[in-house]
Amino acid sequence: MRNQLYSIFILVLVFFGNNIQSENHIVKMLNQGSSGIMVFEPAFLKINVGDTVTFESTDAAHNSASISGMIPSSANSWNGQLSRDITVAFDISGIYGYQCTPHSMMAMVGVIQVGEDISNLDRVKQVAQQFKSSFVMNQTRLDDLLSKI
């Protein structure tokens, strides 16, 4: 009987272990933050596979949306509504770039590193070079965030 209970306990840990240890991180969408105007705070996160991130609409008229080509190829993209919180689950390792759609030209961008697998970093950097060409201010913000990886 004791061995059966121990076996059941191990199975529960194996199947639900990631959910037990997963964490929810908060990123605020701000008009003004410690690093300037039109920012996500924090703009760079390193999290574990299975964690979630809640993008809080602290200030109105912002959203969080993944940037095409700047997420792992097998990951799901997201596109939150303006002035609404959105929670995104990160179940695939890699580098994720995201933006506030109406303020992307102001370099309102962020980067999330999920786990230790950074195999999509070169692709993300290539796309970032093209993407940041539309920035009218804070031209180095995306490069600065990617340099933290």
For the chain, domains (ranges, CATH) are 22-146 (2.60.40.420)
Tens-digit pLDDT profile for residues 76-131: 999 999 999 999 999 999 999 999 999 999 999 999 999 999 999 999 999 999 99
pTM of the model: 0.87
Binning pLDDT at 50, 70 and 90, where does residue 2 land? low
Binning pLDDT at 50, 70 and 90, where does residue 20 land? low
pLDDT of residue 142 exceeding 90 = yes
> Tell me, what's the pLDDT at 60?
97
Token code pair at residue 141: 């913000």
Separation of alpha carbons 111 and 145, rounded Å: 6
Q: What average pLDDT does the chain have? A: 91
The stretch 126-148 carries a mean pLDDT of 97
> CA separation (Å) from 50 to 85, 120, 123, 128?
19, 18, 23, 25
Between vectors from CA 54 to CA 17 and to CA 65, what angle results, nearest 5°?
A: 115
Separation of alpha carbons 6 and 145, rounded Å: 45
> Tell me, what's the pLDDT at 45?
98
